Structures are given as C-alpha cells and as structure tokens.
Structure 1
C-alpha cells in the first residue's frame, strides 16, 4: 500500500489522459491498422509524387507550339525523339553519367578510410572531432558551400593568391569539369561516410586482428577482409552518391559556370527559360526511368538488403 501522503505525479496524470484520449480517437479494435496509420503520411507523399509523374507524362506527350506557346492537344513522341536525337542532350547526359561515376569513385575512396577511422578509433575526443567535421557541412547549405568554393578557387581567390606568392601565374580553377567533380565529391562525402559507418561497425575488430596474426599485411587485410565484409555498405553508399550526383543542380550550375550543365540543369532550362514543359517533362521522366532501372538492377544483382546494410533479402 502506498503511504498516505503519496501524491500521484502530474506527468503520470498527463500520460493517463493522453492514453484515454488515444483510446477514444483510435480504439483497441483498430490496433491491427496501427501500422497503416504510421505509414499514411509516407503513402500520401508517394501518392502526390505519382500524381505529379502522371501529369508530367501527359505533358511529355504534348509538343509546344512555338507560334502560340501552347501545348498541342494531341499526343506525340516528338519530345522523346528530340531528347534522344539531339546532340546537346546526349552530351549533357553523358557528362552527367560520367561525372556521377567519377564522383562515386572518388567519394568512396575518401569516405572508406574516414568511416573506418570513425569506427575503430578508441579515443573519444578523436571520434567527437571526426563527427563534428562530418556533420558540420550539413549545417551549411549546398549553395553556400558552392559560393565558398567560388571565393577560395576564384582567379583572385585564396588558392591563386597563395600561388602568386611563389611566382605562379593565376590558374583557372573554376567553371570547368574538374571543378564540378571536386565540388560534388566534397558535397557527397558526408552521405557516403554515414552509409559506410553501419557496415563497418558490423565487422568485428577481431577479424582484422586474426588476419594480422596470421601474417597478413595491412593492404591484404584491407583487400581480403574489410572490402568483402563491407560490400553491402559500399554498394549502398555508391548507389546513393551516384543517384544524388546524377540529379544534382546547384554544383554544376555554380562551379560549372553554365558550361558544365547536368540533366537537372537542362530540365530547369526547358521549364523556366524556354517554357517548353513538354520537352522538360520528357527529360525528367527519362531521368526517373534511368534511376529506377539502376536501383532495380542493384536490387536484382545484390539483393534488396543493400541499402539497409544487411545481407540478401
């Protein structure tokens, strides 16, 4: 029995009130539908996305009349033929894919040792420092970071100022393909590290110790132990980095100076500069289709558990 001076805590009463209210709003007989209730917002967002894609599909089949700047009333595949048959769009598509591949390679190359150090370090202050450095870019917008690189790498920027001190003439470091790749790698690196950390954390440190005790050098441990065991994390991180890079808009626009546009920039131009929504919709749907096929192939080859850092499902 509780003592006579016992008082029911206020937060307990509040919790009881919330429980009674939830019982009125969502009775126990509906408990089997609770899961659907939680995913309802996600289903709503997906439904809105599907509706938008349906409308874009309709727009992609209508050709812009340059005399009236109105879409045609009849469906046609002319926009898709133009997108696939125009050299400019093929060049943009190849630039986007090649940049996505290079960005994915260099990002994983830098992210893997960073994630390994984050998982294996024994000193808390080093882990905290690595986490601060990792999360700090998330507090700075992509556009702000791109402007920062404009200041650092510009003709009168910090790098060229430092080169002038040793007698080197200013070097054009911006508005080229390499500048775009550099900016994309810097932007994608935190995403790759966050996706690799769970995969590396699941690898027992004893596996590396056992391999070393058997005479394996560090490169052999890395190649024959770490990489195979972290394969799911590498594939998941690579897929996310590739798709995000393929659809990026800000970095190619700002660091490329208009000469290194990606598919997203071409889509933007069709929607907001030439007002050709039909061609822009066709390009956007082709990009969605390419990304969907890529994800489907990854799941088909490596299993659906890739993005969850698990085994084949």
Structure 2
C-alpha cells in the first residue's frame, strides 16, 4: 500500500471497528425487527414466516392503537414543551452563577442521571402515591388527596423530572459559547432584562434547544419504566404495548410492527422539528 493510498484510507480503517459494532448492535436488530413485522402469528402454530401487511393494517385500522399512539406522542410534545419552558431559564441562571454555586447546582442537575430511572419513578410513587407521604399528610389535616398514580398528570410530571436534565445540559453547553458582550450591548441600548433574554439570548441558544428537544422527545416517546409504573395498565403507551405483545400475548410480529411504526413516527417528528427550527433560525439571522 502506497503512503498516499494509506493516508486516504486510514480514516476508514480506523472507523471500521466502530462501524461494525454500531451495525451489529443497531442495524442488525432493526432489520430483524422489520422482517419480523411482516410475519404472521397463529395461536396454535406460532409465528408463520412470509410477507404480509396484515400487522400494519391492524395497527392503522384499530382505534385502540390510535389512542395509544396519540397518548404516546402527546406525552412527548407536552414533556418537551415543559422542559423547554423550565430548562432554558434554568440553564441561563446556571450559566450566570459563580463558583462554587455553579458546581453545586450542576451536580444537583446531573445527580439524578446517576440513579436508575426506575428508582426515581418509585420515589415519585412513595412521595405522591395514594398512600404516599404527601397524600397521607393531606389526609391527616383534613384535605383531599392529590390524584397522581394512574393519571396522565402523574406520568407527565414524572417524565419531566426524568428528562429535564438533558434539556438543561444541552442549552447550557451552547450558552458557554455565547459572547456576554451581546447582552451588555443590548442592555446599554435600553433593553430590559426580559427583552435581552428573549430577543438576544434565546435566538443564540436555538441549537441547544433543538438538540435538547430532540433528546427529550425521543426518550419520552420511547420511555417504558415511568409510564409503566405511574400509568399502569390503564394508561398504556407504545412501549408498554410492545412489551405486552412480546411477553404477554407472545404475538411478536404485531409487537414488531408497533415498534417499527413508533420508530418511523419519532423520526418523522424529529426531522420535521429539525427542519422547522433550522428555517426559523435562518430567518432570525438573515
């Protein structure tokens, strides 16, 4: 191999192990799931190989699955919006803090990520459950209990708690590169602090908001532990439905079809949101 050819091909050879690992761990299971979704299932004969759109037709035509997917994507949109509203100001405040308070706040934000999502969700059950600390205290002082378990509000609140660190870190990383002189210039021209924040800071952190939104939305719509524990069997989402099809009814092809539809739906929303934000971002800085 000549030195010139080696220089041209070296990056490909160096990236080959990572590509092979990525393909084995991601592409191969996805392809197998896609193929499985076209098989049929019989309760007496089991999984039947072949090619059929029957599973996709069942999902598309059944109102039961319509409700599940609507609930799944509604959770994703609501949690993402709340994470933006809460996370962007929090990231801005974190960026304005001085040591050691910035380090303490950053540890408080990142700390929950070091704990299993199951443990965090069970913490909400202990705190806000029907017999949890909050409702027990309210009952003792003669007040009505706050419905939390098996409610959409409870699922959304728990998901926001799980997902908001991703939004804060994404926006804070972008704020590190923002020149504070732009804020000082706007303030010197008479702009109020809210106007500086919304007209100067927010447009500059749109890439962070975009990346944080994509992370939060994709993780929320594919979340399993939190909706399963807080929502239970009553408020099923796509991930819990896939789990039931694979492990309870053993109808693997239908579960694979639901998984593929969920994946395509998440990708469609992410690409559309990315395109919308990029277009808006270009208009702001034209």
1:63 aligns with 2:37: no
Query: What secondary structure, in the 3-state scheme, does the structure 2 residue paired with 1:71 have?
Result: strand
Q: For residue 258 of structure 2, what is the aligned residue in structure 1?
A: 283
1:267 aligns with 2:242: yes
Q: For residue 27 of structure 2, what is the aligned residue in structure 1?
A: 50
Contact 2:83 2:163 in 1 (8 A): yes
1:126 aligns with 2:101: yes
Deviation at 1:87, TM superposition (A): 1.2
Q: Following the alignment from structure 2 to structure 1, what is the Cα–Cα distance between the partners of residues 20 and 269?
A: 25
Q: Following the alignment from structure 2 to structure 1, what is the Cα–Cα distance between the partners of residues 273 and 9?
A: 32
Deviation at 1:32, TM superposition (A): 4.6
1:175 aligns with 2:150: yes
Pick from 199, 210, 226 the counterpart of residue 251 of structure 1: 226
Deviation at 1:303, TM superposition (A): 5.2
Query: What secondary structure, in the 3-state scheme, does the structure 1 residue paired with 2:100 have?
Result: helix
Distance change in 2, residues 1:43/1:204 (3 Å): same
Q: Following the alignment from structure 1 to structure 2, what is the Cα–Cα distance between the partners of residues 37 and 191?
A: 33
Contact 1:151 1:157 in 2 (8 A): yes
Deviation at 1:154, TM superposition (A): 1.2
Deviations 1:79-136 (CA, angstroms, capped at 9, x unpaired): 0000111111110100011110000011111111111112121x20110111110121
Q: For residue 3 of structure 1, what is the aligned residue in structure 2?
A: none
Distance change in 2, residues 1:170/1:295 (3 Å): closer
Distance change in 2, residues 1:36/1:303 (3 Å): farther
Q: For residue 84 of structure 1, what is the aligned residue in structure 2?
A: 60
Pick from 154, 159, 163 the counterpart of residue 129 of structure 2: 154
Query: What secondary structure, in the 3-state scheme, does the structure 1 residue paired with 2:142 have?
Result: coil
Pick from 197, 201, 208 the counterpart of residue 176 of structure 2: 201
Q: Give the alignment's TM-score, normalised by structure 1.
A: 0.83
Q: Following the alignment from structure 1 to structure 2, what is the Cα–Cα distance between the partners of residues 145 and 205?
A: 36
Q: Following the alignment from structure 1 to structure 2, what is the Cα–Cα distance between the partners of residues 28 and 254?
A: 58
Bigger Rg, structure 1 or 2: 1
Pick from 72, 81, 84 the counterpart of residue 96 of structure 1: 72
The more displaced of 106-115 and 27-36 is: 27-36
Q: For residue 166 of structure 2, what is the aligned residue in structure 1?
A: 191
Deviation at 1:246, TM superposition (A): 0.7
Q: Following the alignment from structure 1 to structure 2, what is the Cα–Cα distance between the partners of residues 257 and 154?
A: 13
Deviations 1:244-288 (CA, angstroms, capped at 9, x unpaired): 101110100001122122111111111111111110111111111
Query: Which structure 2 segments of 5+ residues have no match?
Result: none
1:224 aligns with 2:194: no
Distance change in 2, residues 1:173/1:298 (3 Å): closer
Correspondence 1:286-305 to 2 at 5 A: 286-302=261-277
